[in-house]
C-alpha cells in the first residue's frame, strides 16, 4: 500500500483544503518522533490566505474518523503529523512483501513498447571503459521497464559505417592479411595513422576502400563482415558477464538503403536547402545551427542515419518511447534530430528522448584514444575486479566450492554498481579499490548484506509472525521495504537507475543497523518469527532490486 497516497486521499476527502494544491505535499517525516508522515501547510497558506498553524488546526478538527493505518494526528507549528498504527502497517507491508516470493513477478503487460538504444559499440574497435556507462545504464533501464510491464526493445546501434573502415581495410591489405583478433585490428588501425602521417596518399587509398564497401565489392565486404564477427564475438563475452542483452544489432550500415527516402521526404516537405555545397535543414529560429544531412560530396552523416533509424523503429516497433542512452556531448545532435523529426510532421518526435550521461575514466589512466592505441579495455577492468575479489576471498581463508561464482558476481557487480551509484549526468573516475570496499556504499556491501540475511534465515526457524510495538529503527526498515515499487517507478520516470542504487544502500544500511541493535533469533518465538519475516522481506527486496541494476545476489560471501 502507498501510505502517502492513502493519507493524501484521506486529507482531500475532508474538503478543507484545495485538492490540486494538496497533491504531492505529503512526505515521510525525517524524524520519526514527529510522526510517520506529515503535511507541511506553508504553501497552502498562500492559497487559503490563513496561517499554516490555522490550516493544520482546521484539518485536525475535521479528522474524527481516522483510517485503519493511522493511530493519531497532531498539529504542530503548521505541520499536520500522522502517527501510523505501526503494528498494522508492519503486518501489511511485510505480509505483502513475503507474498511476492523470492523473485518478484513483473507488472502485468501494459501494452506499451519502449525502444532503448544503448552501448552501440564500434566495429573493429576495442570495447573500452568509456562504453561502461551507456552499457550498464541502458541495460538497467531495459530491466526496469521490462519489470514495469513494457515490451522492451534493446538496440545496439553498431558503429559499422564510415571512412575509418576504409583505413582499416587499407592497413589490413598492406600489413595484416590472415587471421585477426581485436588486438591485432587495433594495432593495424594505430599503424595506419602513424604511416599516414608520413604518407598522406594512404588517406586516398582508405577512401577508395570505403567506397568499395559502399558499392558492395565482394572482396571488401567479405573482409569487413569478418571484422564485424570478430568484434561481436569479443564484445559478446563482456555482455554475457554483465548480463546485457539486445533484441537488435541493426547498426549504421543497416540504414544505407533507407537514406534516399529520408532525403526525398525532406525535399518534398521543403525542409532541405543548400549551404556551401552541403544539404542542411535550417534551425535558426530554434536557436540551433543547421542540421547537416548530406556533405558536399553527397555522403550521408550521423543525422541522416539517425533520422532513418527513428522512422524505421516507429514503423517496426510502434514505440511509445524511443530512448537514446548516449553521452551528454551529443546533446545538440539529439536536439537537432528531434526537431527535424517534428518539422517533418512526425507527432511521435516528442516520444524520442535523449538520456545523457557523463564521461567515465579509470583512476590513473590518461585520456582514451583509439587512434593512438591508448585504450583501457572494459574486459580488462572487469577481469581485474574479479581477480582482486578472488584475492580478498583467499585472504579470508574461504575455501568454498562457490568461490569462483562469488568472485565473479562480486567483481562484476563492483564495476557495475560503481557506474550506477551516482547520478548518470556526472562525470566519474572509476576506482577498483573503492568499488571493492565491502564496508562502503558499494556493490559488494549490498551483496554482503544479502548474504548476511541468508545466513540469519538459515540459522533461524521461521513461523507465524505477530507484530507488536515497532521501534523507530525497525519501522524505518519497514518503510523502506514498502518503498520498493515507488522507487522503481521513480527510476523509470527519470531514466535514472541510480535512484534504485541509492535506495538499496539505504535499505542495506537500515537492515545492518537493525541487525546490530536487535537480537533477531532469541528464545521468544513470536519476536523471532517477526524479525525473521522482516529479514526475509529485506533479503527478497535486495535481491530483486539488485537484479534491476544488473547485480547478482550470492547467498554466501
Rounded to whole angstroms, the Cα distance separating 354 from 341 reads 14
The per-residue pLDDT for 163 is: 85
Of 47-51, 137-141, 293-297, minimum mean pLDDT range: 293-297
The per-residue pLDDT for 374 is: 55
Query: 182 and 234 in contact (C-beta within 8 Å)?
Result: yes
**CA-closest candidate to residue 323, choices 118, 548, 133, 550:** 118
Confidence of residue 296 (pLDDT cuts 50, 70, 90): confident
Q: Which long-range contacts (CB under 8 A, 24 or more apart) does 82-85 make?
A: 82/7, 82/35, 82/36, 82/37, 82/38, 82/39, 83/35, 83/36, 84/3, 84/36, 84/37, 84/475
**CA-closest candidate to residue 166, choices 122, 206, 213:** 206
pLDDT over 90 (residue 375): no
Crossing angle for the helix pair 259-268 and 302-317, to the nearest 10 degrees: 100
Rounded to whole angstroms, the Cα distance separating 50 from 42 reads 10
State the burial class of residue 366 (Cβ atoms within 10 Å of its Cβ: 0-12, 13-18, 19+). exposed
pLDDT over 60 (residue 256): yes
Rounded to whole angstroms, the Cα distance separating 410 from 498 reads 18
pLDDT in tens, 493-524: 999 999 999 999 999 999 999 999 999 998 88
pLDDT in tens, 327-374: 999 999 999 999 999 999 999 999 999 999 998 777 765 444 444 445
Query: 500 and 488 in contact (C-beta within 8 Å)?
Result: yes
pLDDT in tens, 182-229: 889 888 988 999 999 999 999 999 989 988 888 889 999 999 999 999
Crossing angle for the helix pair 472-482 and 525-548, to the nearest 10 degrees: 40
Name the E strands within 344-405: 352-355, 360-362
SS3 199: coil
- Which residues are registered as beta bridge partners of 117? 155, 324
Residues 6+ apart with CB under 8 A from 264: none
pLDDT in tens, 454-496: 999 999 888 888 887 788 889 999 999 999 999 999 999 999 9
Total-model pTM: 0.91
User: Mean pLDDT in the chain?
Assistant: 91
DSSP designation for 104: P
How many residues are there in the chain? 557
Cell for 26? 505529503
Exposure letters 333-351 (e unless 16+ CB within 10 A, then b): bbbbbbbbbebbebebbeb
All structural domains of the chain, each given as residue ranges with its CATH number in brackets, are 3-84 (3.30.1360.70), 395-548 (1.10.730.10)
Amino acid at each position: 500500500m502507498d501510505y502517502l497516497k492513502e493519507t493524501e486521499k484521506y486529507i482531500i476527502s475532508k474538503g478543507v483544503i484545495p485538492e490540486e494544491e494538496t497533491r504531492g505535499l505529503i512526505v515521510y517525516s525525517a524524524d520519526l518522533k514527529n510522526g510517520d508522515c506529515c503535511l507541511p501547510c506553508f504553501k497552502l497558506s498562500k492559497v487559503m490566505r490563513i496561517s499554516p498553524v490555522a490550516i493544520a488546526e482546521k484539518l485536525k478538527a475535521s479528522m474524527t474518523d481516522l483510517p485503519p493505518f493511522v493511530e493519531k494526528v497532531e498539529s504542530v507549528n503548521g505541520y499536520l503529523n500522522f502517527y501510523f498504527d505501526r503494528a498494522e502497517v508492519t503486518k501489511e507491508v511485510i505480509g505483502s512483501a513475503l507474498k511476492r516470493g523470492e523473485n518478484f513477478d513483473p507488472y502485468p503487460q501494459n501494452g506499451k513498447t519502449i525502444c532503448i538504444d544503448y552501448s552501440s559499440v564500434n566495429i573493429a574497435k576495442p570495447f573500452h571503459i568509456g562504453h561502461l556507462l551507456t552499457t550498464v545504464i541502458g541495460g538497467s533501464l531495459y530491466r526496469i521497464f521490462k519489470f514495469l510491464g513494457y515490451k522492451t526493445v534493446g538496440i545496439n546501434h553498431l558503429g559499422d559505417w564510415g571512412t575509418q573502415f576504409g583505413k582499416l581495410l587499407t592497413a589490413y591489405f598492406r600489413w595484416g592479411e590472415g587471421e585477426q583478433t581485436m588486438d591485432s585490428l587495433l594495432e593495424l588501425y594505430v599503424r595506419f595513422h602513424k604511416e599516414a602521417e608520413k604518407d598522406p596518399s594512404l588517406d586516398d587509398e582508405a577512401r577508395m576502400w570505403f567506397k568499395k564497401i559502399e558499392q558492395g565489392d565482394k572482396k571488401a565486404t567479405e573482409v569487413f563482415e569478418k571484422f564485424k564477427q570478430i568484434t561481436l564475438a569479443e564484445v559478446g563475452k563482456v555482455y554475457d558477464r554483465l548480463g546485457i542483452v539486445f533484441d537488435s544489432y541493426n547498426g549504421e550500415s543497416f540504414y544505407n538503403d533507407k537514406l534516399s527516402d529520408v532525403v526525398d521526404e525532406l525535399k518534398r516537405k521543403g525542409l532541405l536547402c543548400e549551404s556551401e555545397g552541403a544539404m542542411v535543414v535550417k534551425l535558426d529560429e530554434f536557436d540551433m545551427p543547421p542540421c547537416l544531412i548530406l556533405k558536399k560530396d553527397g555522403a550521408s552523416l550521423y543525422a541522416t542515419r539517425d533520422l532513418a533509424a527513428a522512422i524505421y523503429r516507429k514503423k517496426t516497433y510502434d514505440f511509445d518511447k524511443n530512448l537514446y542512452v548516449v553521452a551528454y556531448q551529443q546533446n545538440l545532435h539529439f536536439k537537432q534530430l528531434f526537431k527535424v523529426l517534428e518539422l517533418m510532421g512526425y507527432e511521435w518526435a516528442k516520444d524520442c528522448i535523449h538520456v545523457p550521461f557523463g564521461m567515465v575514466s579509470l583512476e590513473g589512466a590518461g585520456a582514451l584514444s583509439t587512434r593512438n592505441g591508448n585504450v583501457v579495455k572494459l574486459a580488462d577492468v572487469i577481469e581485474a575486479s574479479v581477480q582482486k575479489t578472488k584475492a580478498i576471498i583467499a585472504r579470508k581463508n574461504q575455501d568454498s566450492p562457490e568461490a569462483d561464482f562469488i568472485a565473479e558476481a562480486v567483481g562484476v557487480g563492483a564495476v557495475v554498481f560503481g557506474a550506477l551509484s551516482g547520478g548518470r549526468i556526472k562525470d566519474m573516475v572509476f576506482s577498483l579499490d573503492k568499488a571493492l570496499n565491502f564496508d562502503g556504499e558499494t556493490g559488494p556491501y549490498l551483496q554482503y548484506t544479502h548474504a548476511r540475511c541468508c545466513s540469519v534465515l538459515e540459522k533461524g526457524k521461521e513461523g507465524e509472525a505477530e507484530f507488536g510495538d515497532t521501534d523507530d529503527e525497525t519501522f524505518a526498515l519497514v518503510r523502506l521495504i514498502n518503498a520498493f515499487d515507488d522507487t522503481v517507478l521513480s527510476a523509470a520516470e527519470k531514466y535514472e537507475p541510480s535512484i534504485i542504487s541509492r535506495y538499496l544502500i539505504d535499505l542495506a544500511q537500515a537492515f545492518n543497523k537493525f541487525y546490530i541493535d536487535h537480537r533477531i533469533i532469541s528464545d521468544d518465538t513470536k519476536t523471532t518469527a517477526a524479525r525473521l519475516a522482516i529479514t526475509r522481506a529485506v533479503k527478497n527486496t535486495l535481491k530483486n532490486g539488485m537484479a534491476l541494476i544488473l547485480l547478482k545476489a550470492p547467498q554466501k560471501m
